[in-house]
Structure 1
């Protein structure tokens, strides 16, 4: 380890400040461009010791657990709480602009749709049992150390108010000190809690979880490795008036505000299309909304998610027909011949993107496409395929769903003459 003074030149894609030393870039978490710092350096990683000059964009963080001096250590959940909102928004938007330019795409990028504190309805906690209590919080960056949290300004009040309940459930679920995860989703009927990372859940622990939950209010379901342990009420999500009962461990958008923003952009572009394909449909975030105005084919590889979508569609009045198909779109995308019957296509893939599907779409006659992505780099690759096939990019809109993190959602709309 060496000690040196550096000047931060820029922010990297993960939100770390970058200084350029004689041996190459040095990455310094919790720093900002223009700052002059004394750091302790190990290889290309720097830790702030003191400041000689600070940025005018530096602000006080919102959470006591943030940063190198956070209570219990840096919790690892946020990386940009120290950055003023205008600069923060510009940085997130720049991630999308840079990703597009890396693929030769030079189009206007809209201002980012902002996120506010307290909106996160889906939180993944790290947990571990100690001799006296259950630690619940987040892993420190690049570490297995769990920083037990006392507050979390990004999480919803409905989740934060039940931290003690989560500790009791986690305590009942395990008998050793092995770390595990608790994914918590706030639904209309209560918290939906999914446990994973625990090797086995014996009958004794199942009974303990059940007895613990029965003595509580506000807990809809607890599951382990996608298997229900106890369900007091079915968890309920609302997709613009359509009630959906997600299966254990189902993917949901992290905030309602971001979900609604993505849905609004999607619906505006699709318009009155009569036949729409929703690819990587999940539990129906877009498909069930699209079905208000047109027939929808919803394609998804996860059978339980597809069943939840199908059940919701069949039990909601006023929807156009929704057909579901279980299909791995990475291995077997909808082919050009299959796409010819659709007026519009929406796709929202995992971080890897939809390369195989976009190669088929690029050869199709579909008039309108909406590409939703949580990864600007894979989105840029996919958009390059579509524009090479003759599509025009109409709009690109970043959406800040993961407040104070380097992650950004994007909705891109495309059309063909």
Structure 2
């Protein structure tokens, strides 16, 4: 049975929230009157009776079915205010005082790393993104957030998927645009007998992809796969984490390096292959700490090939189980940390207990960022700025960089 509701606000995941009932209604905007069909605590949008002046035409033909984007129907102003609000509200809930800057936007067709899902459906293979809150794969023919080189390669990626997809489980393809071309990393593939392996290698070569790996094993690499980090070209381990938009990474790094300028020794925690550390090493000695060995090996190889950098040391260490202690941190003048979505609560407590005076916190989760900043501010740090960054366009995900100085 349908009902008519008025949307009063956007929830943290971009759904509209109906006044009174609190129903979550995807693809709606504040102030709209809409017809919906209730499905427990959520509702399916049937029609827009009175549209918001902030409603725009979505640029993607798959929007509404594909679950990759939440807010293509929102104007730029509303969308950017929403994302800034995610950071500002999270900080306010934790009692963290900070001036939150406007969102630093990213352009369409700029995302260099996507993860696609493939499944068998009858006699064909579907390649795309999951529909929201389901395991149903929506096959895509285009993707306006992704770099044109990735969109152009969708037919080639379908051919690879058709060779590797298992009959009983979805295949995941992480596709990264690099300085060497497209790197494809597959997970949950079918069993690779000799024929499947050779067919996949032949198809990769025929389609001109730079590399294909399955579960971390390189099947074929036509040329060394290198990713740009400022002026550096870093060898990319299969499946390694890469910031989704190169321009956003550079903008965040500019903030971090400016804040930490003048430091002689910098700790780079959750360092990966050096997105921040390599840039910092032009002016300071860097100690890079990361939980995985291969990104550190890539960082070390780059440092060895780059004359003129300050010393860079590395340490493989699980920072969740064994954070760098306050005593160890006292060797450094400044620090940057960029943890995964879970944040860095244990590490933040050690930073709070140290003698560090300058810290840059980078995060993909405003909630855990706010928690970690609360720990630091209670120990005498002040947040001098908090800047939200967009690199997951038209989604509810937002990055942020918070800069801190110890008071007194």
Matching residue of 1:36: 33
**Cα distance in 2, alignment partners of residues 121 and 307 from structure 1:** 22
Offset, 1:158? 1.1
Offset, 1:94? 0.3
Instruction: From 219, 222, 228, give the equivalent of 2:218.
Output: 228
Instruction: Check if 1:264 corresponds to 2:254.
Output: yes
Classify 1:383/1:175 alpha carbon distance in 2 versus 1 (closer, same or farther; 3 Å). closer
Instruction: From 380, 393, 396, give the equivalent of 2:370.
Output: 380
Instruction: Check if 1:393 corresponds to 2:392.
Output: no
Instruction: From 184, 192, 200, give the equivalent of 1:209.
Output: 200
Matching residue of 2:48: 51
Residues 174, 201 of structure 1: 8 Å contact kept: no
Instruction: Check if 1:27 corresponds to 2:24.
Output: yes
Matching residue of 1:137: 128
Output one character per residue of 1:191-220: Cα deviation in whole Å (capped at 9) or x when no partner: 110101225322221111011112222x11
**Cα distance in 2, alignment partners of residues 106 and 387 from structure 1:** 9
SS where residue 318 of structure 1 aligns?
coil
**Cα distance in 2, alignment partners of residues 346 and 27 from structure 1:** 37
Instruction: Check if 1:13 corresponds to 2:12.
Output: yes
Residues 34, 47 of structure 2: 8 Å contact kept: yes
Write out aligned runs for 1:4-403 (5 A).
4-21=3-20, 24-67=21-64, 74-174=65-165, 176=167, 178-217=169-208, 219-403=209-393
SS where residue 25 of structure 1 aligns?
coil
Residues 165, 171 of structure 2: 8 Å contact kept: no
Matching residue of 1:71: none
SS where residue 46 of structure 2 aligns?
strand
Output one character per residue of 1:48-89: Cα deviation in whole Å (capped at 9) or x when no partner: 11222110100000100002xxxxxx1101010000001110
SS where residue 89 of structure 1 aligns?
helix
**Structure 2 stretches lacking a partner, 5+ long:** none
What is the TM-score of this pair, normalised by structure 2?
0.98
Output one character per residue of 1:108-165: Cα deviation in whole Å (capped at 9) or x when no partner: 1001101110000000011123454331111100111111111110000111111111
Count of aligned positions: 407
Residues 389, 398 of structure 2: 8 Å contact kept: yes
Give the alignment's Cα RMSD to 1 decimal.
1.2
